[in-house]
Structure 1
Amino acid sequence: MTDHVFTFCKTDLAARADGTLWWAAERILCVSDLHLGKSERIARRGGTLLPPYETRETLWRLEAAIDATNPATVICLGDSFDDLGAARAISDDTRATLTRLQAGRDWIWIEGNHDPGPVELGGTHMADLKRGPLTFRHIATSETGEISGHYHPKGAIAGATRRPCFLIDAARIIMPAFGAYTGGLSARDDVLAAIMEPTAIAVLTGKSALPVPLKSCLKR
């Protein structure tokens, strides 16, 4: 796996090909928008029945990222569950997996718009977190040095399929969604264009992290 290593607000970070962000100096692994329990939430609200395996797949991928980096701290950057009902409905196996992944490290749940309240799954629950020059929160604001999620950006270049991507400029990072059933917003959408600087880059995830100028991404 090839990661994109870069400096952001005088801090060396790596946008990993798997969609996680790694701060090696602090041994912090950041992941956004897990949306655990999405299939359960859709079924509960009378929607299309989807195979209930996305939580297992998402946690397998998260476990692989944790095994690869051995973080001291994991930050889940909001919308970790598709709603509070999904958090309450998790299986014993899911609860056991989360307990095992949390063991021996700090685990921080940042509040999202889908899961605004605390969940009884261990770890620390916060609206946002400031660590050194960086601020971790769910939805981007105008603050310099912030790392956020929420928008599920996806980007594509000519001849390639659309992939979840990081958006990075001098002031902010917007993380890709990590959850297996999450959709996405075009990296060139007007909503994101209003947030990101014209010189921003997109880092496409996949087998390797591919940094490209955001303006070179297709508008789809």
Structure 2
Amino acid sequence: MIEQTVTLAGARLTARGSGALWWAERRLICVADLHLGKSERIARRGGALLPPYETRETIARLAAEIAALDPATVLCLGDSFDDMASADALPEADRAALAALARGRDWIWLAGNHDPAPHGLDGGRAETLALGPLTFRHAALPEAEPGEISGHYHPKLRVALRTGTLSRPCFLCDRRRLILPAFGAYTGGLDLGSSPALAALIEPDARAILTGAPCVTLPAFRASA
């Protein structure tokens, strides 16, 4: 199984094994935390020299989802770039690839804490976006109305199995909100079992939908190791 269905505020959504969220009624695909240019940012700040391929890999994964679903709208939930200088330093080939993906559809970049300012790439920009019963933003608000969809936290779930420990990025959802996993190739994750921030946001009976294959739904907190 490569996807799971979620209903939030009456909207029927599909959590994909890739980490993308699909709203078929609106033909909208939503991804969070691409963190394009992360290896360039680390090198620029004197860190480890990582192979500079994560941007290309992330764009390729996004292109595969767009090819599979043919969305009318692509919505990026902030932290699409690892910092504002990463957006400026985006190689021309990657810039052209994003422009090609945006052609013929609406592309919306939401502001994140890593990329709060406009970056000049094709598409519109907003702080938050309200569509029907849903509100999209980068980081969840503690007192948000039901129907909030966000990213920011890079949630992952660690589960103890007989054969060892399974750890995967995951969607995190309860009756009020849905938090997406990070879509970027070099992004880490925040373990549900050791995150007071997530525990404070999400109801105790929340569910985690694991990315990858199989894409399965588990209790978010009781399953954490």
The TM-score by the shorter chain falls in which range? over 0.9
Contact 1:27 1:72 in 2 (8 A): yes
Taking the aligned partners of 1:168 and 1:137, their CA distance within structure 2 comes to 15
SS of residue matched to 1:112: coil
TM value normalised by structure 1: 0.97
SS of residue matched to 1:113: coil
* Aligned pair partner of 1:162 in 152, 164, 167: 167
SS of residue matched to 2:149: strand
| Structure 2 counterpart of 1:136 | 136
1:157-192 C-alpha deviation (Å, 9 max, x unpaired):
222421110000000001000001001101232110
* Aligned pairs for 1:52-201 within 5 A: 52-141=52-141, 142-143=143-144, 144-159=146-161, 160-188=165-193, 189-201=195-207
Task: Answer with 174-183 or 152-161: which moved more.
Answer: 152-161
- State the one-letter code of the partner of 2:76: C
Taking the aligned partners of 1:217 and 1:99, their CA distance within structure 2 comes to 41
Identity of aligned residues (%): 57
Taking the aligned partners of 2:19 and 2:128, their CA distance within structure 1 comes to 20
1:119-151 C-alpha deviation (Å, 9 max, x unpaired):
111100100100001000000002121100000
Unpaired runs of at least 5, structure 2: none
- State the one-letter code of the partner of 1:147: I
TM value normalised by structure 2: 0.95
1:88-142 C-alpha deviation (Å, 9 max, x unpaired):
0010100110000000000000000000000111100100100001000000002
1:28-85 C-alpha deviation (Å, 9 max, x unpaired):
0000000000000000011111000000110110001111110000000000000000
Taking the aligned partners of 1:166 and 1:60, their CA distance within structure 2 comes to 21
Q: For this pair of structures, how many residues does the alignment match?
A: 219
| Structure 2 counterpart of 1:28 | 28
| CA shift for structure 1 position 210 | 1.0
Contact 1:157 1:216 in 2 (8 A): no
